[in-house]
């Protein structure tokens, strides 16, 4: 009896690999919800270490007049010139170097006037400058 020569197989049988992958997928899907994500237990302090600095408010009126109000001390703004404005802010920055300054301009004031005040403040090394706006009410 003559033996038939074996036919060479040039394909890979992937069915067992698919079965293993499906079993692993089911295992991961079942165990994933059981794992607790890492939680961080933050330390607590009694109070804040440094209180935020109240900003100085520079108001620009429609006619270009400048008013200055130190929100930490004064409730009313006082009229100042540009030179007095810089002197007052530099005096305040001597005690607190990161003193914030907020510009509150009337909405009818030209944008150029606001930029002039910002430019003068930046030229005199005022680092924290912001613009004050009121939120829209629905």
Please name which of 123, 106, 128 lies closest in space to residue 62, comparing C-alpha atoms. Answer: 106
What is the value of pTM for the model shown?
Answer: 0.58
Residues 70-97 have pLDDT tens digits of 877 877 888 898 888 888 888 888 888 7
Listing DSSP states for 74-99 in one string gives -SS-EEE-HHHHHHHHHHHHHH-TT-
pLDDT value of residue 135: 75
Q: Where are the domains of the chain?
A: 56-131
Residues 114-125 have pLDDT tens digits of 899 899 989 888
Second CATH level (architecture) for the domain 56-131: 2-Layer Sandwich (3.30)
């Amino acid at each position: 009896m003559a033996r038939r020569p074996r036919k060479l197989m040039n394909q890979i049988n992937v069915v067992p690999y698919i079965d293993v992958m499906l079993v692993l997928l089911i295992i991961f899907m079942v165990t994933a919800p059981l794992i607790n994500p890492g939680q961080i237990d933050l330390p607590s302090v009694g109070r804040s270490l440094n209180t935020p600095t109240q900003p100085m408010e520079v108001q620009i009126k429609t006619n270009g007049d400048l008013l200055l109000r130190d929100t930490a001390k004064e409730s009313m703004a006082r009229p100042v010139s540009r030179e007095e404005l810089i002197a007052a802010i530099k005096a305040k920055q001597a005690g607190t170097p990161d003193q914030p300054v907020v510009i509150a301009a009337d909405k009818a004031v030209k944008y150029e006037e606001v930029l002039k005040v910002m430019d003068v403040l930046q030229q005199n090394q005022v680092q924290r400058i912001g613009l004050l706006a009121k939120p829209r009410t629905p």
